[in-house]
Structure formats: structure tokens, C-alpha cells
Structure 1
């Protein structure tokens, strides 16, 4: 059975969606990042990058959410595009677009907008601009097709859904009005029973909600280093 190291944040939730859609048997192992559990030796042996999610599948250990999606899709033979070089090229391109663009720029936009100390105007402008640009490219792609790769729901749609859930927090309360095609895509996936089961995982476990000094130390160690502790 797959062990799934989970926290209710965008990257783990897209993996949860795949697991629920595919029917692969799995066991959830909660990792409370605001308590610093991602830095414990037992977890670092699974993911040296100290980030959720990660999976252990027999002898295989996979970390990075997009790598996990691709591993699970290939393992199960589900939610992949047709087996042609052209389709695989599009799948890899958009999956890596989420991995190298959507995720990092969304995360940095959230950090500087909501958590970073002043002065931060330049950083907020930089990362919000890039996050908006990247989401705009998703919206343009979805203006042409019902799903990211065309007519078929795939792992790339799951990768997009994980981050789209947080869009108002990332870009602001008017974000959806500017991205109607992405909103249609998001609503359609959110209505799926598997997505509702993935969302429900959050209520099965107790995670620290407070962003206190201890949580900030675990999540933003660079600030702790500047402060000398």
C-alpha cells in the first residue's frame, strides 16, 4: 500500500486528488509543517527537501508533487494522454509549467504578500506579476479546450487544480473574474466526487492553524537565521 505524506496545502492536495480518482490503495501519514514535522529525521529520509508531499510505494520513494503525479499515472496507466510523441510532449510541457512556474510564483506571491516583513513592495510586485502572467497562460489554454491537454481529463488538470484552489489568496478576491476559463475548469473538477473526498482529508487530521513565532521559524527559517536564532 502507498504511504502518502500529507499536509492540506496545494501540492499534497493534487496528489490526494489523483489517489482518489485512480482508486489506488493508500494510507495517509499527516505531516504538520507548522509544528516542524517536515524537518524530523524520519521524514527527511523520505524527502531530503523537507517539503510535503511524498510517497513511499514499496521500494520506491518519490517526492515533488509533479513527479508523484507522473509516477502514479504511469504506475496505474490512468489519466495519461494518448500515447503519441505529440501528446506526451504537451503533457510534459504543461506539467513542468506547473512545477517550475505556477507553484514557485504562487508560493512566493503568497509569502511576500501575506507573511514577509517590510519593505516588500518590489517583491510583491515581482511575484504577483509573474503569478498573474502564468495563470493567464492557463486561462488562455483552457479557452481553447475543456481540459489542459484537450478533450481528456489528465494528471495535468489535477496539477492545475491543486493550486487553483488557492487563487483568491494568491492573487486577491477578484482573481476569478479575470480568469473565467480557469474558473470553469476549477469548478468542474471541484464538483467531482474524488475532489470532494480529497478535500475531506483535511478534516480527518488535526493540523496547527496558528501562524505564531514557532510556525514562522519552521516555515521561514531564513528569517530565523537573520534574527540569530
Structure 2
């Protein structure tokens, strides 16, 4: 922790209010450079909310796709800490009015993620692992309280959802998955170069996980018609499974 404090020095920390995870993010400057301090409570160690897990994912991805540089990590009894250097560009969320550009950028993001070889990937983000994680979060009363089961008749409680997920767990076609591929986690430069952030859930997972998130993003924030253009084939049951899996995170 002392190394983190020394690096930040007397720089002013500015809280980032974007995001719904239990992690806390602050930005700060050293000279002309912008950095981010991300922390996660110790109870999340061993889950995909762990910033130390994210740091190892980012380090493994370095040179494969464009991700933030990990500057420092630390932990104490209360929290885990990670400092990263800011990526260039702006979030894809700022470009949604240009629908065809948005679609092309999501397609490219999916292509880049799924082109990463998983031959030596040490990160398990499979459905079975994520369900074990969800069981832990439910048992510790750490789930997102703002859940909405309205789209899925017959679900009332988190336990109902967990049972349905276990009953509908798909046969997986593993690829590298970002794990939370949305328009706030894809940064775009002026020449459409992509940089990816928030990779705590990154790892080996079914190829439809990232597709489901991108499809939902386009469907909810642009239009169902544009979302449909993302799909060359479809697996509605898998898309529903991964949307349901995400509801309590």
C-alpha cells in the first residue's frame, strides 16, 4: 500500500461514478499523464471483481490487444489496489448516433477478442465458474440489489434465477471473452483503433457471452434493428442465459 501512496503523492483523486461494480475507481494526474486507481474490497478476492485478477488478465493480454498498462498493484487486509495508465480515445458510448460506425466497431471488438488464442490462457470464466461465483455472492448477500426479472416469467428470487441457470447451462464453445463487452468498456481513437478496459471477467468463456452483451447494448441503446445486424447466426438460448447470468452482478 505504501508504494501506491508514494506513486499518487499529493495528486488529487477524482471519483469515477461510472460503473455498477463494488470496485471504486479514482482518476489522478502525474504531470501530463492520467492514471486510474481501482480498488476492490478483500471479500471479493477470488471473484471476477478482484482487481488483482484484473491486473493479471491485463498483463497477459498486453501485446495481444490494446489494454491499459498496469503500473502498480498492492493489497492489504481491507482491499486490493491497482494503478493503470489511461488509454487513449473516448468510450464507444459517445458514438452511438453513428449507427453503422457503432456496429462496425462492435464487430471489430468481437473479432479482436475472439481471435486471441486460448491455448495458454490461464483464466477460467466459464459458465460453471461464474455460477460458483454467483452462489458465493448470493450466500454473502453481495449481489446487485437493483435486479429486474421482468423479462423472464417465473423468476422471483435470486435463488429462482440460480436454479434456472443451472438447469439451462449451455454446452460451451470456448474462446477468449472480455466478459463485460459494452460501449463504456471499449475506447475508440480518431482512427478507430480500439482499446479495452474493465477486464476483470476476462478469460475462457463461451463465444456467445460477448456477443450477447454487445447485442443487448445495441438493442437497448440504439435499436433492435441494428442489434439484429450484429448477428450472422443466432443462438437465442445462449444469449438469454448470459443476459440472465449478468442480472445479479
| Fold shared per TM-score above 0.5 | no
The structure, 1 or 2, with the larger RCO (C-alpha pairs under 8 Å, 6+ apart) is 1
Which has the larger strand fraction? 2
* Alignment TM class, shorter chain as reference: 0.3 to 0.5
TM value normalised by structure 1:
0.33
TM value normalised by structure 2:
0.31
Which has the larger helix fraction? 1
